[in-house]
Amino acid sequence: DIQMTQSPSTLSASVGDRVTITCRASQGINYWLAWYQQKPGKAPKLLIYKASILDTGVPSRFSGSGSETEFTLTISSLQPDDFATYYCQQYNTLWTFGQGTKVEIK
Amino acid sequence: EVQLVESGGDLVQPGGSLRLACAASGFTFSNYAMSWVRQAPGKGLQWVSTISGSGSTTYYADSVKGRFTISRDKSTNTLYLQMNSLRTEDTAFYFCARDRSRTTVVQGYWGQGTLVAVSS
């Protein structure tokens, strides 16, 4: 099984900050990596797939990069609507989510 | 507009069974793989199961293999999850989800979730 490890688990930041979340895979997954955003009481929302492709309607302040075992999600200038929990997911072999990173207000 | 509406969540005793349903609309149901993803209260996301658009291929997480069965009914555009031998650790919100596209096998559309509580 492929394990996904996100860091940090919690991130405190202010509006306007540049934020980076890291996701590591236990084995190479090429670029079969997605990122989701989830707010309390809501379903997850797909942000990025194939490591770097923004889903339709996702603001350009979000970006993704990486391949094989190391990936990053970057928010270039954090907005009030971005305070949420973010999950990475590999889909190279079945599907596995990371444990999540909560982005909270500093 | 893609809509996914789950139902069937309930309180059930350990060892019991439950069937979840997900009513799909706004797209050609048989063209897309569908999945179930769960989330224990206050915890992270866990992929549970996926079924191909035709229904001929199914995939399961090891934690539910042999206990859960995913299926779909194209006549009613409904996705199902039959859950048997339920355990307390199966307590979670269960979301149904549709692949983003026919070529992008990530969960691009989600329902609002239904709560399954397993407790004596």
Residues of A in contact with B107 (CB under 8 A): 36, 44, 46, 95
Alpha-carbon gap, residue B75 to B30, rounded angstroms: 10
CA distance B4 to chain A (A): 11
CB < 8 Å from A in window 44-103 of B: 44-47, 50, 59, 61-62, 95, 100
pLDDT band at A89; cut points 50, 70, 90: very high
**Which residues, 6 or more positions from A23, have their beta carbon under 8 angstroms from its beta carbon?**
A4, A5, A6, A33, A35, A66, A70, A71, A72, A73, A88, A98
User: By C-alpha distance, which of A51, A13, A31, A34 is closest to A86?
Assistant: A34
Residue B55: enclosing H or E segment and its boundaries?
A: none
Work out the mean pLDDT of chain A and round it to a whole number: 97
Contact B108/A100, CB-based, under 8 Å? no
What DSSP letter does each residue of B5-51 carry, written as one string? EEE---EE-TT--EEEEEEEESS-GGGS-EEEEEE-TTS-EEEEEEE
pLDDT score for A63 = 98
pLDDT score for A23 = 98
Q: What is the pLDDT of residues A61-70, one digit of tens each?
A: 999 999 999 9
B27 in A contact zone (CB under 8 Å): no
pLDDT score for B86 = 98
Q: What is the pLDDT of residues B50-68, one digit of tens each?
A: 999 999 999 999 999 999 9
Q: What is the pLDDT of residues A32-52, one digit of tens each?
A: 999 999 999 999 999 999 999
* Interface-testing mutation among A95, A97, A101, with chain B (most B C-beta atoms within 10 A): A95
Report the residue of chain A nearest B108, measured CA to CA.
Answer: A46
Cβ–Cβ < 8 Å for B29, B77 = yes
Alpha-carbon gap, residue A28 to A46, rounded angstroms: 22
